[in-house]
Every structure is written in C-alpha cells, then in structure tokens.
Amino acid sequence: MQWAAVAAVLLVAAVADGADLAHRQQAVNRLLYRIYSPIPSKFGDLKSLSSSFDPRAHTSHCNDGGNAVNHLMDEYEAGRLLEQHHWFSLFNTRQREEALMLVDVLLNCEDFDTFVGNAAFFREHMNEGEFVYALYVAVTHSDVMQDVVLPPLYEVTPHMFTNSEVIDKAYAAKMTQTPGDFKMTSTGSKKNKEQRVAYFGEDIGMNSHHVHWHMDFPFWRHGDEIDRKGELFFWAHHQLTVRFDAERLSNYLPLVDELYWDRPIKEGICSQHKLQVWRRVPHTS
Ligand SMILES: [Cu+2]
C-alpha cells in the first residue's frame, strides 16, 4: 500500500515535469527519426528546441557544472567537429572522442528537459553517426532515460545490417509507394566455402545483439566504472566464437584459425554495405 502511494507520487511528479515515460520514449523515437535529415517540422517542440536551445545557458542543470557542455561547445564553435554526411567510425580516435564528448554531455544532464534540449541541438550540429552512437550509449546508461526502450539499430541504420541490393529495393518501393517484401541473400557466392556459415556472420539479429552489447559495456569505459567488465567481455565473445566454431564444424569447415597480423588474410569479406552518407532516404515530411 505504501509502495503504491510512493509510486503514485513519483508518477505525478514525473508527469508534472512533462517527463513521463511516454513522453521520454516519444522524444527518443523522434530524435532517431530519419537521422540523415533535419528534425521535421511536424515534431514541433523538438524542432524548435533544436534551434532555440542554448546548451551553455543550461549548465546549472548539469551535474558537472557544465564542463562537458562547455567543452563540446568550444569544439563546435571553433569548427573542429566532424561535418555531417561524413562516415563515422568508433575506431577513429578523433571521431570517438567527439562522440564521447556528447555522451558526457548527455550523461551529466540532471533532468529530462536538459537532456532532450542538448540532444535536439547536437542532433542538428554534429555528425549523424556520432550523434546516434552517443544517444544510444547515453539512453542506455542515463538515470533520466530509465525504462526508455531504444529501437533496434537495424531500424535506424538499416544500411549497416543489410546489403545494398535490399536497400536499393527499399528505396524503389518508397519512391513508387509500392509495399514490398525483400529477401536478403548472403554476400558471397557458392565458390567460396566460407559462404556456408554466412547465415551466422550476417544474421541481423545476432549483429544487432552484438552492437547493443557493446553499448552496454563500452570498451572505452575504464574497468573500475563497470563491474566485472573484462569477465563479461570474455564471456560474451567466447559464447559467440564457440558457437561460430560449432556452426563451422556442422558445415564441414575447420575451426577458425588464429589471427596473424603479419600474414595475408585469405578469406576476405566484401560486406556490400553502402554507406548512407552518399544518399538520402526520400521522404515527404
Ligand atoms: Cu564484440
């Protein structure tokens, strides 16, 4: 009974703040809507926040006194941030630094309004890949965004999970307003025996799980910030690699050989992904 009363009070407080779960969820969904285009005007509040919100004016709502915001704004105002419509890789040191600056900003927001204001502003002023990565990590780890469900990344960046043939068909379907059902085949040909296990390596669900797992336990976080970080890293990857070996054995293939940095790689892979930065999704918003 007491718990119910406490829960009711918390709910009322959250709703009064305009930050009930439904609104927080809607904001995240909208922030991720067609990320290579500006926020559409039909998302009124979010659209106006993206141009009217001044990150430096809200530092009193940041747990770190605004250090992270001021640092990122210094980089932005000096024109040092990666442009939009440019590829993004987490393994590019500078690009990772920029994405982590935004993670730092978002994780230091002490309330929803500050979080969503900063997110809307930087969505329009930072590289899209950096933004998406930072938002996913921040929503995953922020108390402010607790219980918000992130859409699977294959819905936000499908080109990273499917080959260009499927994406091209999807574009054509959208352009002609003709619903379609497209089958994705593996990337290689039967001549390459590694193709026998392509169903595993190219499985969308498995790849989605893998990337989300890495956001739960980012490699760039220090061991003292995540309990049992190394153990969990080993466990998850061990599960993946032994399952892959099991699939190989079932397909008359040898176990995966050790990786030698100084020897040529015999079995290469051409993912046939097309980077979204070269083209846009046609839309009518
Ligand atoms: Cu991994």
Among 129, 153, 177, identify where a domain stops: 153
What average pLDDT does the segment 131-159 reach? 95
Q: What is the pLDDT of residue 24?
A: 96
C-alpha of residue 240 to centroid of ligand 1, in Å = 9
What average pLDDT does the segment 13-32 reach? 81
Give first-to-last CA distance, the chain, whole Å.
Answer: 47
C-alpha of residue 130 to centroid of ligand 1, in Å = 19
Q: What is the pLDDT of residue 106?
A: 98
Check whether residue 211 and residue 250 sit in a common domain: yes
Residue 3 has pLDDT above 60, yes or no: no
Check whether residue 10 and residue 95 sit in a common domain: yes
C-alpha of residue 88 to centroid of ligand 1, in Å = 18
Q: What is the pLDDT of residues 126-139, one digit of tens each?
A: 999 999 999 999 99
Kindly indicate the confidence band of residue 48, based on its pLDDT and cuts at 50, 70 and 90.
very high
Q: What is the pLDDT of residue 14?
A: 46
d(CA 135, CA 122): 10
C-alpha of residue 210 to centroid of ligand 1, in Å = 6
C-alpha of residue 238 to centroid of ligand 1, in Å = 10
C-alpha of residue 208 to centroid of ligand 1, in Å = 11
What average pLDDT does the segment 82-107 reach? 96
Give buried/exposed letters for 89-124 (b at 16+ CB in 10 A, else e): ebeeeebbebbbbbbbbbbbbeebbbbbbbbbbbbe
What average pLDDT does the segment 229-234 reach? 87
C-alpha of residue 209 to centroid of ligand 1, in Å = 10
Q: What is the pLDDT of residue 227?
A: 80
Check whether residue 86 and residue 181 sit in a common domain: no
C-alpha of residue 219 to centroid of ligand 1, in Å = 9
Beta bridge partners of 109: 62
Q: What is the pLDDT of residue 280?
A: 47
Supply the mean pLDDT for the chain: 87
What average pLDDT does the segment 74-92 reach? 95
C-alpha of residue 108 to centroid of ligand 1, in Å = 27
Q: What is the pLDDT of residue 214?
A: 93
Q: Is residue 215 part of a domain?
A: yes
Check whether residue 138 and residue 195 sit in a common domain: no
Domain interval for residue 176: 158-278
Q: Is residue 285 part of a domain?
A: no
CATH of the domain at 59: 1.20.1370.10
CATH of the domain at 203: 1.10.1280.10
Q: Where are the alpha helices (DSSP H) in 142-187?
A: 153-156, 164-175
Check whether residue 27 and residue 142 sit in a common domain: yes
Check whether residue 8 and residue 149 sit in a common domain: yes
Check whether residue 15 and residue 137 sit in a common domain: yes
C-alpha of residue 241 to centroid of ligand 1, in Å = 10
Check whether residue 85 and residue 226 sit in a common domain: no
Look at 224 and 238; give whichever has higher pLDDT: 238
C-alpha of residue 244 to centroid of ligand 1, in Å = 13
Check whether residue 231 and residue 177 sit in a common domain: yes
Q: Is residue 230 part of a domain?
A: yes
Check whether residue 233 and residue 270 sit in a common domain: yes
C-alpha of residue 159 to centroid of ligand 1, in Å = 19
Among 125, 153, 181, identify where a domain stops: 153
Check whether residue 144 and residue 176 sit in a common domain: no
C-alpha of residue 78 to centroid of ligand 1, in Å = 35
Q: What is the pLDDT of residue 13?
A: 46
**191 alpha carbon, distance to own chain's centre:** 35
C-alpha of residue 218 to centroid of ligand 1, in Å = 10
d(CA 6, CA 4): 5
Q: Is residue 262 part of a domain?
A: yes
Number of compact structural domains in the chain: 2
- Which of 201, 200, 170, 165 minimizes the C-alpha distance to 184? 165
CB of 185 closer than 8 Å to CB of 164: no
What average pLDDT does the segment 154-180 reach? 88
User: What is the CB neighbour count within 10 angstroms for residue 200?
Assistant: 15
Q: What is the pLDDT of residue 143?
A: 93
Q: Where are the alpha helices (DSSP H) in the chain?
A: 2-16, 21-31, 44-52, 67-77, 93-107, 112-125, 128-141, 153-156, 164-175, 198-201, 204-216, 229-250
Q: Is 8 left (phi over 0), alpha (psi -120 to 50) or beta?
A: alpha
Check whether residue 26 and residue 146 sit in a common domain: yes
Q: Is residue 283 part of a domain?
A: no
Q: Is residue 284 part of a domain?
A: no
Q: What is the pLDDT of residue 277?
A: 56
C-alpha of residue 230 to centroid of ligand 1, in Å = 12
Q: Is residue 227 part of a domain?
A: yes
Among 153, 182, 205, identify where a domain stops: 153
